[in-house]
Each structure stands twice: as C-alpha cells, then as structure tokens.
A and B are shown apart, each in its own frame.
Chain A
Amino acid sequence: MPSSISSSEAASSEAASSEGAGPDSPETGSADAAASAAAAELALRASAVPLHAPESPLPGPGAGEHFVRPGFVRLTASDRPGVAQPVPVRDIPPQPWRRIFATAMVLTAVLLCGWEAYWRAFGATPGYRNSDGAWAQQRRRIDTGEGDRTVLIGSSRVLFDVQLPVWERLTGERPIQLAIEGTSPVPVLEDLAKDPNFTGRLLVGVAPELFFSGFAYRGDVIPGYHRQTPSQRSGHWLSSHLLEPLFAFYDPDFALDTVVRRQAWPLRPGMPVHRPVRKLMTMQDPDRNTHMWRKVETDPEYRALMRSIWDERFNGPPPPGMDTPAKLQKTIDAQINRAVAAVATLRARGVQVLFVRPPSNGHYYAFEQKVFPRARTWDVLLRRTGAPGIHFEDYPQLQGYEQPEWSHLSAAEATRFTAALVPLVKRQPWTRGNAQPPR
C-alpha cells in the first residue's frame, strides 16, 4: 500500500506561502521540501482547531466558530513539492444541509414551474427537439435495414411543408425525414452517395439561397452522426422519452443565453442589424415530422417579427464569398458540381433522385428571384444532373398557399401541399414502376 501522510489539511495562508514552492521553482529540493512540508504539518497540528472532516462530523450550531479561521487555505499538491501526496481530506461547511437541500430543491421546482408556465402562456407546447441526435437516429435507419426507403433531404421547407402522415396515407410508405433547417442539402446528398446501404429513392428539396450558396447553419450534423458516441445516443433516447414530450420550455429558442441575447440591446455603431431566426416550427413526431409553430400563424406581431428578420437578411450585405457577381456565380457552380457528382454516384447505384422546389412568396420569393434566378440555378441543376424536378412555378396545384412569413407553409397548408405534391411525385420517372435505368 502506498504510504501517505494522514493530513488534517489545516493550514494558514502564512504556512502555505512559507512553503513557497510553485511549479516553476521549487526553492528546495525534494528532501528539503519534504522536511519543510512535514514541519509545517506538525506546526499546524499543534495549533489546529477541529475541522469538520468526513470522518468526524461536527455538531450543528456553533460549529462555524471552530471551522472558520481567517486565512484558511487548504494545502494542495503545489504546497508540497517533491513528496508523495497524502490522502486529501475535504471539509463540509457546518451548515444545516438537510434544510438547505430541501429548500433549494423546492425553490428550483417552483422556478421551473414558473418558467414552464411562462412559455406555455407564450404559445409553446411540448414537442420533440430538432436535435443532432434526432437527425442521427433517422439517418441510422438507412444503415440498419431501411436503406431501400424513400428519403427526404433539403432545408426547412421540406421539413415543414412535407407532412409524413399524408405521404404515408397516399403511398403506403412513411419516408425518412433528413431535411435540416437553414442548411444546404448538398452535404447530405454526398453523404448518402457514399453510403452503399442507401438504395432507395431520394427527394431533394431546393431552397435556392441555401442549396446554391452551400450555407450550413447546422454543418456539424453529418460529422456528428459519424462520430456519435454511445453516450450521445443514450442521451438522445433519454431526452426524447423523458423530457421533450413533457416540457414546453425545453427548446433551444427558450434557452437562457438565447433569451438574454435577443433582448433589446443597443446596436453597436457600424454593426448591421442581424437578429437570429426565431422559433418557427413544432416537431410533433419522434421521426422528425414537423409543421409550422401555431404562433407564427396566429400572432400578427410574431409573424411581423419573423418577416422583419428575413428582411434584415435580404437588405444586409452579401456574405464575403458572394459579394460580387463573379464570386456568386462561382459559388453556385461549385454547389451544382457537387450535386452533379453525388447524383451520378447515386444513380449508378440505382438510386433515383428527384429535385423539388417548394413554394415561397412575398419578399422571400423576390429575393430568390433577384439573387438566385431560376435560369442560373434550378434549370442548370436539372440539366446537368439529368434528374427530374418539380418546381412549384410549373404546377398550379403547388401555388397559392398561405405562407405566413413568406418561406414556409402553415400547418394546414402543409397537409394540403403534401396531398398535391405526392401525385406529382408518383408521376415522375422516380417511383419504382417508371424508374430510369442506372446511368
């Protein structure tokens, strides 16, 4: 058994500093230091007052008078150079810990109830978190026997606008939802192209300002899936079973730091207004079936806020890599090149790919028309990939929906949109009966 000094750990600051041995310069060698430390220990024991150590619980009231000494500093490894470290002994402050613990827990519960009530009054309801873990869980289905299914990728429009129950009712198959909000689907396309387990059908949603810019609000999702640890998987399971279905406040948009940051702080001179996008959706099923948050549909003030946030983006300076027409075109070409390569790989494996451009309107549509016009983006994408596509402008049944903040469909409209989209999808050379041969 290693030898050790059974230390009381009592020390005055003077004693501690008198040992004076930092990591840089042990002013004594190990033998000297050991002697110095031992002498300090002995001196301290001689003058020591009783401590509340784990083995010797102090009685309650009045114990503090013995415990609290001016200048008390616990000896650490840095105070005992060159000696085998003794067993540390930690103090328990003499306090009525039973009462403190009970009060703290009750107070925490009261605060949490108040916080939950506040967000429910704001319009929030419990729902599943659109977390990396939720995405990984769906992505894993492809690698665990469901690789022949229909998979939906894209950005928030595919996530909000395509309703899985409606799709399932019309086709008999519930697709795997892998769309990621605010993020280009091109990396997901590439990831699936590299995965031989995926042999199904792929619907790729195209939101022009994301797809053709390569912007990735959640760029860590795919790498996160590939390096997901067992602990993260179990954490997602616990969260989606024990917390998410119960608590409305358990949403990133209501996190403390997010709430503090979005208060009306004054703007720094020279800094453009760029408020983060607020909560837009509710994920109501564990397989990431999602629809627009009801507050966006019913609260005019909140809807106006969302529109003003979009406007800030449309009126702000372009991103550094796209601030000239030449750079913008180069970015668009790069994204199309990546998509072309990925689609070729998928189709060589027999995977049929279908591009879908969901509707947008208002300022959002105007911005897309101006910066990412169809002729320079969508048409080129279809021509170069050779994949079929459904653009909302080409189909009257995909137009005229209510889009409260110009970009996404309301919940009811998403149901109607999905019901209109699925028959169009079925007619494409994409479904099993009329699939194109591998190229």
Chain B
Amino acid sequence: MIFNSLTFIVFFACVLAMHHLPLAWRTKKVNLLVASYLFYAAWNPPFVLLLWVSTVVDWYAAQKLVHAERPAVRRAWMLLSVVANLGMLGYFKYGGFLLANFTTAMAALGVHYQPPSFDIVLPVGISFYTFATMSYTLDVYLRRAKPATSFLDYALFVTFFPHLVAGPIMRPTELVPQFAQPRRATPDMLRFGLALMTLGLFQKVVLADGFLAPVAEQVYDGDKVAGALDAWIATLAFSGQIFCDFAGYSTTAIGVAMCLGFAMPDNFRFPYAAIGFSDFWRRWHITLSAWLRDYLYIPLGGNRHGQARTYMALMATMLLGGLWHGASWTFVVWGGLHGTYLAGERVLRSRFAGYRPGPWTLFALALLTYALVNITWVFFRAHGFGKAWSLLGGMFGAHAAAAPIIPTADLAMTALIVLSLVGAHWWMRNRTLETAIARTPATVVSAGWALMLFAVVITQGSGNAFIYFQF
C-alpha cells in the first residue's frame, strides 16, 4: 500500500494502536513484522515470497560466513548472498531489458531471434530491499558489523514497512539495535512524527502529483514538439516533481517510524542548493549514494589506485547507479552524465585547488549545478532517446517555431513552486528542518501544519504511486 491512501491511514492507525498496547516487546515486534508483510502483500501477495527468500538467504549466509575460518569459504557465503539478491533483481527487473538487447544484438549480426514474451511484473521496492539485505551480509563479510543474534530482529530490519519499498536504504547497524530494547514514541515524538508525515504528504500529493506531474506529462508524454519555454518548464516541473515525490516519501517514512519510536536517517539534504556534483550526491538520495560508494566504488578501487582507476571506478559506479533506477539505456545515460559531471568537477578542483569563490560566485555555481542537473533529468524522464533529444533541442532553441503546449496556469504555478523550492533549499542549505522549526513561532508552525493538511485533503489525490516504487 502507499502512504497517500485511505488504506494506509487505517492500517497505520491500527499499527499505532497495537504498538501502544501493554504487550511484551517481542509481541510488539511480531506485530510489526506481520504488519509489514501485510503492507507489502497489499500490492501483490505472492511477492511476499521474494521478501522471505531475500531475508532467509542473507540471514544464513551471514551466520555461516561469520563461523567460517577459511577466507574462501567466507567469500563463497558472501557470493551466495550477492548472487541470490542480484539474480532475483536481474530476473525481475532486467530480464526483459537483457532479452531485448540480446535480440537487437542478434539482429545486428543477421540472426533473427524471436524471444518468448517476457511479461514479468516488477515486484515493488525490490531494488531497495535487496540492497538493504545485501548490505547486511557485506558488512558482516567486511567485519564492519557482527551478525544479528535474533532472526526476528533481522527479519524486521528487512521488512520494516516505513523503509521497505522506497528507502531510505538502511544498514542493519542502523536499525537492528533499535529492535533490541522496547521503543515507544513520547507524545512529542508522536506529534512531530505526524507533522513530518503531513509535510511529506504535502510534497507528494499537492506539489508533486497535483501541480507538477501534469506539467511534465503534457510535454514528455505528448507527441508535440516543445519550444524553449515549454521544454524548460516541463523539465523544471519534473525536477520539482521527482524531489517532492521522493523526498516526500522519505519524510513521510521518517515520520511514520518516529511515531512508532524508531529513528531513520535523512535521505535528502536540500539537494537543489548543491554547489557542484559531489555536493549534490551528498544531498540527493543519500542512502543510495552512500551504499554505492561503500559497496561499489570503494571495492572497484576508489581513489587509491591512481587517476585512471579512480575515474574508471567513478564512471562505473554512476553508470550502474543509473541502471539501478531503471532497465533502460536512458537511465544509463543519466548515470553517465552524472559520472561525467563528477569527473569534470574533480579535474577542476585539482586544477584550481587554491580558488576560494565569494558568496555570489557560490550562488552562481549552485544555479549552474541545478541547471546541469536538469539536463540529466531529461534522460531520466523521457521514454526514449528520440524524445530526450527533441526536448534537449527545444531547451536550446532548436524549435523556435513550436506551438505553445503548457497553459499559463501551469507555467505560473511551476515557476512559483520551483523558485520557492530552490529558494528554500538555498536558505536551508546549512540547516536542518528541526532547527528551522525550533526557531519558528509556535503559531506559525500550527498554521503551516494546518494549511498543509488542509491542502492535502482538498487536493484529494488519486493515489498515484511514488515514482521510486518502480525502481
């Protein structure tokens, strides 16, 4: 089920009520585990089996490898976990993509191959929970963490519904210890958690789904050629939509966990105020970028084996990171562009190591970063390269005679929301949400909360799934 649904409201009320009953802590954890399976089964009940496979394989692999003395045996158990998780991900997420590319390659060689139809439904959130469970085995293998002593705690770590389907991608060391002791939200935690949920749902329901998504759809999903204004506004709208959608999910998830007495890490840190791309990736989907750095970039050599190896590891990490987002070459190009930006920034930083820009230059660099990020969003959002090139052409003046597509209302609302969003990110660049709220008068906090909740209710929403569920 999704957070912005009536079903979730009822589900969450029941979970919250049960969590506050005077039951043994173990019973409460079992309740949370069952609730988490229900949460996942509400999409497609059979896919709960995949969760079980992922849970059990990594549990046993970690138990076995920690007791193995020979390095080869340890490595074998670690590889079992990696192969099982990536195999599952590969089959469900990339099977069709691989088959289509194989068919194309065969055709290029003059071999006509007609593959059987590959109509596999992608299990929601599979990319997230496979990465979470793999990090468990890998942390144990790398001796960064000891294996969990309780299967219940470990299973709850994998399945815990706030982070299950779209992150934040939590490490076992972040969550398993929280299950060791009884946890229950204080009244203030509960209220602040509800406030965070309202903020997250406001971002998702009102801004992303209500105002921004339709603007991007008019241009990206239509067959009209877009001129400069339409192409830019649609792309800016998507930049706002994907942030509000995903950061909205993360904020809601953090609020949900807080209401139950658990803490989850930040997944976004005002990314559209980033100055440069290494800064951007410290602020955007933090738990994924950290995962890729820890389990891909560093094992590939990181920056400790010379310049060439560093750039190779950097580009490989970003290309695979792009592919993680979707089984399409457009996502690979999206990752490749970010890899190129990061490499370019690295070159510039080493060449101008002593340069200390002033505040206005920093602001200009932040705007440049945001503009370049928007170029990458074109490949992320477009359904194919034809549309992507057409949009990019439009953005840079190739379709000057194109008829207008986006009505004035959408132009104005997109401009207002995106400018407010970027401005808010800049103002919050070195702050946290909590410090900002702490400085705000209580009446203003109340009014803001009420207005957001009111807007969520009257926008009504259509229960659109979060964008990142498809990844």
* A interface residues with partner B (beta carbon < 8 Å): 1-4, 13, 21-27, 29-30, 54, 57, 64, 67-69, 71-74, 76-101, 103-105, 107-108, 111-112, 115, 229-232, 234-235, 238-239, 242-243, 249-250, 252, 254-257, 260-263, 265-271, 320
Q: A83 contacts which chain B residues (CB < 8 A)?
A: 144
Are B454 and A25 neighbours in the complex by a CB distance under 8 Å?
Answer: no
Are A73 and B431 neighbours in the complex by a CB distance under 8 Å?
Answer: yes
Contact A255:B460 (CB < 8 A) given known A3-B146, A238-B10:
yes
Residue of B nearest to A24 (CB): B342
Are B171 and A85 neighbours in the complex by a CB distance under 8 Å?
Answer: yes
Which of A1, A266, A271: most chain B CB closer than 10 A?
A1
Are A84 and B173 neighbours in the complex by a CB distance under 8 Å?
Answer: yes
Are B148 and A27 neighbours in the complex by a CB distance under 8 Å?
Answer: no
Q: B2 contacts which chain A residues (CB < 8 A)?
A: 231
A122 to chain B, nearest CB (A): 14
Contact A255:B41 (CB < 8 A) given known A25-B346, A73-B431:
no
Are B432 and A72 neighbours in the complex by a CB distance under 8 Å?
Answer: yes
Are A90 and B258 neighbours in the complex by a CB distance under 8 Å?
Answer: yes
Q: B142 contacts which chain A residues (CB < 8 A)?
A: 30
Are B265 and A255 neighbours in the complex by a CB distance under 8 Å?
Answer: no
Which residues of B, 147-179, contact A by the 8 Å Cβ criterion? 147-150, 170-178
* B interface residues with partner A (beta carbon < 8 Å): 1-2, 5-8, 10, 41-45, 139, 142, 144-150, 170-178, 180, 185-189, 191-192, 194-195, 206, 210-211, 214, 223, 254, 258, 261, 263-266, 269, 277-279, 281-283, 286-287, 289-294, 297-298, 302-304, 310, 314, 317-318, 342, 345-346, 403-404, 406-413, 430-432, 434-435, 437-439, 442-443, 445-447, 449-451, 453-455, 457-460, 463
Are A256 and B459 neighbours in the complex by a CB distance under 8 Å?
Answer: yes
Are A229 and B282 neighbours in the complex by a CB distance under 8 Å?
Answer: no
A36 to chain B, nearest CB (A): 14
Are B438 and A256 neighbours in the complex by a CB distance under 8 Å?
Answer: no
Contact A23:B310 (CB < 8 A) given known A2-B177, A270-B403:
no
Are B409 and A54 neighbours in the complex by a CB distance under 8 Å?
Answer: no
Are B177 and A93 neighbours in the complex by a CB distance under 8 Å?
Answer: no
Q: A239 contacts which chain B residues (CB < 8 A)?
A: 6
Q: A229 contacts which chain B residues (CB < 8 A)?
A: 1, 42-44
B232 to chain A, nearest CB (A): 14
Are B146 and A22 neighbours in the complex by a CB distance under 8 Å?
Answer: no
Contact A232:B186 (CB < 8 A) given known A1-B146, A23-B281, A85-B171:
no
A347 to chain B, nearest CB (A): 29
- 28 contacting pairs across A/B (C-beta < 8 A): A22-B342, A23-B281, A24-B293, A24-B346, A54-B189, A64-B438, A67-B434, A73-B431, A73-B432, A76-B266, A78-B290, A84-B139, A84-B173, A87-B173, A92-B434, A93-B192, A95-B438, A97-B187, A99-B442, A101-B194, A108-B454, A230-B43, A231-B2, A231-B8, A255-B210, A256-B455, A267-B407, A271-B407
Assembled-state Cα–Cα distance A94/B439 (Å): 9
Contact A84:B409 (CB < 8 A) given known A1-B177, A2-B172, A30-B298:
no
Contact A250:B438 (CB < 8 A) given known A23-B317, A257-B210:
no
Q: B293 contacts which chain A residues (CB < 8 A)?
A: 21-24, 26, 78, 81-82
Are B261 and A85 neighbours in the complex by a CB distance under 8 Å?
Answer: no
Are A3 and B145 neighbours in the complex by a CB distance under 8 Å?
Answer: yes
Q: B406 contacts which chain A residues (CB < 8 A)?
A: 268
Are A93 and B437 neighbours in the complex by a CB distance under 8 Å?
Answer: yes
Q: A80 contacts which chain B residues (CB < 8 A)?
A: 290
Are B438 and A238 neighbours in the complex by a CB distance under 8 Å?
Answer: no
A109 to chain B, nearest CB (A): 9
Please tell me which one of the listed residues B191, B223, B289 contacts residue A100 in the complex, with CB atoms under 8 A apart. Answer: B191
Please tell me which one of the listed residues A68, A100, A235, A260 contacts residue B438 in the complex, with CB atoms under 8 A apart. Answer: A68
B222 to chain A, nearest CB (A): 10
Please tell me which one of the listed residues B6, B314, B431 contacts residue A24 in the complex, with CB atoms under 8 A apart. Answer: B314
Q: B278 contacts which chain A residues (CB < 8 A)?
A: 22-25
Are A81 and B290 neighbours in the complex by a CB distance under 8 Å?
Answer: yes
Supplied contacts A30-B142, A57-B186, A85-B173, 19 more A-B pairs, CB within 8 Å: A1-B146, A25-B342, A67-B438, A76-B282, A77-B265, A96-B442, A98-B191, A100-B449, A101-B195, A103-B443, A104-B449, A111-B450, A230-B43, A238-B7, A254-B458, A257-B211, A257-B214, A257-B459, A268-B406
Please tell me which one of the listed residues B174, B211, B289, B458 contacts residue A85 in the complex, with CB atoms under 8 A apart. Answer: B174
Please tell me which one of the listed residues A3, A4, A91, A103 contacts residue B434 in the complex, with CB atoms under 8 A apart. Answer: A91
Please tell me which one of the listed residues B171, B266, B410 contacts residue A84 in the complex, with CB atoms under 8 A apart. Answer: B171
Assembled-state Cα–Cα distance A38/B178 (Å): 21
Assembled-state Cα–Cα distance A368/B409 (Å): 31
Are B447 and A107 neighbours in the complex by a CB distance under 8 Å?
Answer: yes
Are A2 and B458 neighbours in the complex by a CB distance under 8 Å?
Answer: no
Assembled-state Cα–Cα distance A92/B186 (Å): 10
Are B408 and A255 neighbours in the complex by a CB distance under 8 Å?
Answer: no
Residue of A nearest to B121 (CB): A227
